[in-house]
Amino acid sequence: MRHCSTNLRVNDKVEVITGKDKGRVGKILKIDREKNKVLVERINLIKKHQKAKDASQTGQIIERESSINLSNVMLVCPECAETVRIGKKVLEDGTKVRICKKCQATIESTK
- Report pLDDT for 6: 85
Q: What is the CATH number of the domain that holds 56?
A: 2.30.30.30
Q: What is the pLDDT of residue 5?
A: 77
45-101 confidence digits (pLDDT tens): 999 999 999 989 899 999 999 999 999 999 999 999 999 999 999 999 999 999 999
Give the per-residue pLDDT at 3: 72
Q: Mean pLDDT over residues 33-50, rounded?
A: 95
Give domain status of residue 58, yes or no. Answer: yes
Q: In the chain, how many domains are there?
A: 1
Nearest-angstrom CA–CA distance, 91 and 86:
16
Domain that holds residue 87: 13-107
Query: In a 3-state reduction of DSSP, which class is residue 72?
Result: helix
Does 20 map to a domain? yes
SS3 71: helix
pLDDT of 37 over the 80 cut? yes
In a domain, 5, yes or no: no
Distance CA 99, CA 1 (A): 29
Handedness of CA 31, 35, 36, 39 (dihedral sign): negative
CA–CA dist 35, 67 (Å, integer): 10
Model confidence, pTM: 0.87
